[in-house]
């Protein structure tokens, strides 16, 4: 894992100057959507221009609790922002990067409305493919994946939940989610030693999805904690699996 991350960093340092000179090789832009009298900012990654004029798949990425705020959670400058941009350039997809407001959660009604409006605007503006809309979320964003997938069934072609869980807080927390998600393909990741979000959250979701004849893959990393996203970045089969899914 460390060698792979060092390799990515080395590639980034080697290509950073040329990438900055050619802003057509992937760019993150800022947009807003209005709800009532309030404007909500979000970011969109635009992949390098394709030789085809066809529709482009769209990934909705839901961040974790530490990235809440306003103004966009991907820094415009600095090493962190540049590393993120370097990684995104390897993804042949539009990537919608909404930001959850401080004190809010993805399951809050206004956050739900904000994300869905931003998604619709992104599809229209950048020629997104409605049959290839994908949800990926980490931690709080992993909970958000199950919220949006259950509240908007058959909207997304694939779901990726990383150290997430059921957004339902009372009663039977897992089966209702599984029933609403149905057979939407999902890949769930969790670390066995997670001390922030218990691994039982993902295990119970998997059990419920399987019990409802759902379509689920599960990867649990032994001796790994909440930073399981580092392992997920190294999963070579993840993006090919995601882009192989499409709505009928």
The structure tokens 């809309």 sit at 133
pTM of the model: 0.88
Q: What is the CATH number of domain 2-244?
A: 3.40.50.1820
pLDDT in tens, 182-194: 999 999 999 999 9
Nearest CA among 148, 204, 157 for reference residue 180: 148
> What is the mean pLDDT of the segment spanning 243-248?
96
Length of the chain equals 248
Model confidence at 83, pLDDT cuts 50, 70, 90, reads confident
Q: For residue 44, is pLDDT > 60?
A: yes
Residue 40 pairs with which residues in a beta bridge? 33
> What is the mean pLDDT of the segment spanning 150-167?
97
* pLDDT (0 to 100) of residue 82: 76
pLDDT in tens, 207-228: 999 999 999 999 999 999 999 9
**Non-local CB neighbours of 185 within 8 Å, separated by 6+ positions:** 157, 158, 159, 215, 216, 217, 245
In the chain, where the domains are located: 2-244
Model confidence at 197, pLDDT cuts 50, 70, 90, reads very high
Q: For residue 22, is pLDDT > 80?
A: no
């Amino acid at each position: 894992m460390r060698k792979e991350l060092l390799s990515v960093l080395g590639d980034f340092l080697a290509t950073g100057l040329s990438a900055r000179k050619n802003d057509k090789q992937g760019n993150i832009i800022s947009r807003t959507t209005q709800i009532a009298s309030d404007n909500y900012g979000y970011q969109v990654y635009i992949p390098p221009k394709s030789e085809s004029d066809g529709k482009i798949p769209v990934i909705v990425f839901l961040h974790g609790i530490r990235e809440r705020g306003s103004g966009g959670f991907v820094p415009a400058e600095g090493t962190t922002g540049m590393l993120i941009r370097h990684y995104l350039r390897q993804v042949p997809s539009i990537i919608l990067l909404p930001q959850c407001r401080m004190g809010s959660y993805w399951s809050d009604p206004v956050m739900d409305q904000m994300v869905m409006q931003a998604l619709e605007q992104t599809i229209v503006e950048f020629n997104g493919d409605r049959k290839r809309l994908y949800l990926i979320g980490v931690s709080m964003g992993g909970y958000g994946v199950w919220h949006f997938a259950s509240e908007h069934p058959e909207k997304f072609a694939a779901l990726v939940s990383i150290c997430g869980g059921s957004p339902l807080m009372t009663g039977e927390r897992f089966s209702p989610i599984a029933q609403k998600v149905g057979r939407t393909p999902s890949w769930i990741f969790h670390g066995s030693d997670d001390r922030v979000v218990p691994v039982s959250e993902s295990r119970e979701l998997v059990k419920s999805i399987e019990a409802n004849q759902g379509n689920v893959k599960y990867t649990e990393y032994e001796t790994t904690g909440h930073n399981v996203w580092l392992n997920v970045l190294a999963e070579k089969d993840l993006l090919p699996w995601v882009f192989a899914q499409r709505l009928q």
